[in-house]
Amino acid sequence: MHCDKKTINRLKRAEGQLRGIQKMIEDEKECADIITQLSAVRSSIDRTMGIIVAENLKECLNNPAEDPEKQNQKIEQAVQLIVRK
């Protein structure tokens, strides 16, 4: 799977946020502040998942598999990932 630099940067940012949250917990920061940061990470990850699925779906449609059944399976898999999200 190919990911562009923006997607990798999004994941690195989320990783940094998670480290910050771990520090907040270790420093016994307020629960509400920790939950706010966790919510921000979750939102960021959800957006990243959507971007990855959308890019894969576009790739699938722009470069269809030679086997129509395999192509349909790939599209169905992408749809299920979106629905599961």
Domain boundaries along the sequence of the chain = 5-84
2-6, 18-22, 50-54, 80-84: which range is least confident on average?
80-84
Which pLDDT value is given to residue 39? 97
pLDDT tens, position by position, 31-82 = 999 999 999 999 999 999 888 888 888 888 888 778 888 888 888 887 887 7
Q: CA geometry: angle at 22 spanning 15 and 85, to 5°?
A: 50
The Cα–Cα gap between 24 and 22 comes to 5
The Cα–Cα gap between 64 and 61 comes to 5
| C-beta of residue 40 within 8 angstroms of C-beta of residue 17 | yes
Q: What is the pTM of this model?
A: 0.76
Instruction: Decide yes or no: CATH 3.40.50.720 for domain 5-84.
Output: no
